[in-house]
Amino acid sequence: MAQHKLCVKHGVMNQKPQLHIFSLGGTISMAPTLDAGSGVRPTFGAHDIVAAAPELAEIADISAESLSLKGSANLLFSEIAELCRRAASLSCSGIMVTQGTDTMEECAFLASLLYGGPPPMVFTGAMRSPAQPGADGRANLMAAALTALTSNGPAVSLVMNDEIHHPFYVTKSHTSNVAAFQSPIRGPVGQITEGNVILHPVQPAPTFDIPDEFAPVALLPAVLNDDGNLFDTILSAGYAGLVVEGFGAGHVSEQIAEKLAAIAAKIPVILASRVRAGSVFERTYGYRGAEIDLLNKGLVPAGRLSGRKARILLSLILGLEKPDWRQEFTRVVKHV
Ligand code: GLU
């Protein structure tokens, strides 16, 4: 399936920039199966996607490569790492990645930790498959291509619905709306309007080496009236780290707090929030199970990073076997 064509200039007369497209699957690649009622499935590779958007060739010389063809729930950290490795070896003006929207915020966040550009790398996809009325994939491809060919944005960004989002903040906020992606803390870092890319300045994000392996890190939310039995399985299951999504600004029940203290004595434990926006607190609430107690028990605050992004960051840092994981984790948290 994979067809590789490096993006090198085709000739001295050709002034178009070079755009390389990696496709991973997702709704933008999906078509109905022959059995009516069986739903859409990943079908189209990178070359089909490019062929369905002929306007891309008007703004760039395109090379396209299918890295996988699957629903994005099946993507692996190692596949995103490999994509970043390949991206770093390309010589082109911009890189676009098409994939499913379900995990796009996680993949773009991981890529932003592993790839510093240039050229810019832009993730995009579609909320509606190509055969659906109002399919959004083609418009997203063009907006993402224009962003990927613009050099003053973040090294990695996510473009959907004519908005450019920073991977640290963006989250999928709706199951079906084409305006599903939002950055609740700071809003988009740019827009595409009438073919123009308008970007607000962003600080370069910290990047890391690509690890040989990612460490297994669990993510558990605080939920009401929880006996905490799942927390008891974390150490015996072999996790190297845990992220807990606390209530509100980072709170759990007294019972869970004791379990977290025991876990944090053995492996790194990060305190994030199950709330969609805002920072975990560090010095406001003093009752048992609140943030001051949890941080005293050894948990490390995730700041404004969501639990799922904190999990990716910890998995990467532990995979790299960094001597001071807290310092490395906090370095990124402070950037958010
Ligand atoms: N709505 C998702 C998408 O946009 C479903 C499939 C997936 O994430 O791969 O692609």
Q: Say yes or no: 193 and 251 in one domain.
A: no
How high does pLDDT run on average in the chain?
94
Q: Report the b/e string of 1-23 with b at 16+ CB within 10 A.
A: eeeeeebeeeeeeeeebbbbbbb
CA of residue 254 relative to chain centroid, distance: 33
Q: How confident is the model at residue 14 (pLDDT cuts 50, 70, 90)?
A: low
| Number of domain units in the chain | 2
Q: Say yes or no: 174 and 47 in one domain.
A: yes
Dihedral through CA 312, CA 174, CA 48, CA 140, nearest 10?
-100
331 part of a folded domain: yes
Range of the domain at 149: 2-199
pLDDT at 12: 52
For residue 51, report the distance from its CA to the centre of ligand 1, in Å: 20
Mean predicted confidence (pLDDT) in 213-233: 97
For residue 144, report the distance from its CA to the centre of ligand 1, in Å: 17
Tokens of 272: 């994030």
- Name which residue sits closest to atom 8 of ligand 1, judged by CA: 100
Q: Are 294 and 257 in contact (CB under 8 A)?
A: yes
Evaluate the CA torsion angle 246, 249, 250, 255 in order and state its sign. Answer: negative
Active site residues: 27
Q: Say yes or no: 172 and 232 in one domain.
A: no
Whose CA is closest to 239, among 208, 270, 272? 270
Check which CATH number belongs to the domain holding 239 and give it: 3.40.50.40
> Hey, which of 44, 72, 127 would you mutate to test ligand 1's pocket, going by the most ligand atoms within 8 Å of its Cβ?
72
Which residues contact ligand 1 via a Cβ below 6 A?
25-27, 71-72, 100-102, 125-127
206 part of a folded domain: no
From 143, 173, 199, the end of a domain falls on 199
264 part of a folded domain: yes
pLDDT digits (tens, 9 = 90+) for 50-70: 999 999 999 999 999 999 999
Q: Say yes or no: 145 and 8 in one domain.
A: yes
pLDDT at 35: 78
Residue 247 gets which letter from DSSP? B
Q: Ligand 1, closest atom to CA 28?
A: 10
Q: Say yes or no: 115 and 177 in one domain.
A: yes
Check which CATH number belongs to the domain holding 112 and give it: 3.40.50.1170
For residue 261, report the distance from its CA to the centre of ligand 1, in Å: 37
Q: Say yes or no: 287 and 327 in one domain.
A: yes
Q: Say yes or no: 66 and 130 in one domain.
A: yes
> Hey, which of 24, 40, 41, 102 would you mutate to test ligand 1's pocket, going by the most ligand atoms within 8 Å of its Cβ?
102
Q: Say yes or no: 39 and 74 in one domain.
A: yes
pTM value is: 0.94
118 part of a folded domain: yes
pLDDT at 7: 43
